[in-house]
Amino acid sequence: MLLVLAHGSRRHGSNEEVRRLSGRLGELLGERYARVAPAFLELAEPPIPAAIDAAVSAGADEVVLFPYFLAAGRHVCDDIPRLVAEARRRHPRVRLELRPHLGELPGLLPLLAEYLR
């Protein structure tokens, strides 16, 4: 199972973007993950802890968590690692793998340079 972790927004359309992204990743990565779903830090449903709990209840023994964040701010450095640590205590038998956030992807800079050229 892959969870795409986003901030969440008061703007409905912004949360829908994340849901659409999760859906498309689910199509592209169907062989790697049984399911891809979004989860939000605040302002949108489901919250990250509930999404992890739901994945475990549904039988996942591995949950990959991908922070869909550009900057290593408070959310990426503190809030998300804390939520994951808490979830590990709730589900000691499940492998919760927190990936580096999007802003750290090595391919991002060449993509931006190509687009802005």
Q: How far apart are CA 80 and CA 76, in angstroms?
A: 6
Chain residues 3-42 in contact with a second copy, contact rule CB under 8 A: 6-7, 9-11, 13-14, 17-18, 21, 24-25, 28-29, 32
Cβ contact 22:84 at 8 Å: no
Size of the site for a second copy (CB under 8 A): 41
Minimum CB distance to a second copy smaller for 50 or for 71: 71
Minimum Å gap between C-beta 89 and a second copy is 25
Q: How far apart are CA 29 and CA 44, in angstroms?
A: 24
Single residue of 41, 54, 62, 72 touching a second copy by CB under 8 A: 72
Q: How far apart are CA 68 and CA 85, in angstroms?
A: 18
Nearest to 65 by CA among 94, 43, 89, 106: 94
Binding positions for a second copy, rule: CB under 8 A: 2, 6-7, 9-11, 13-14, 17-18, 21, 24-25, 28-29, 32, 64, 66, 68-74, 77, 99, 102-103, 105, 107-117
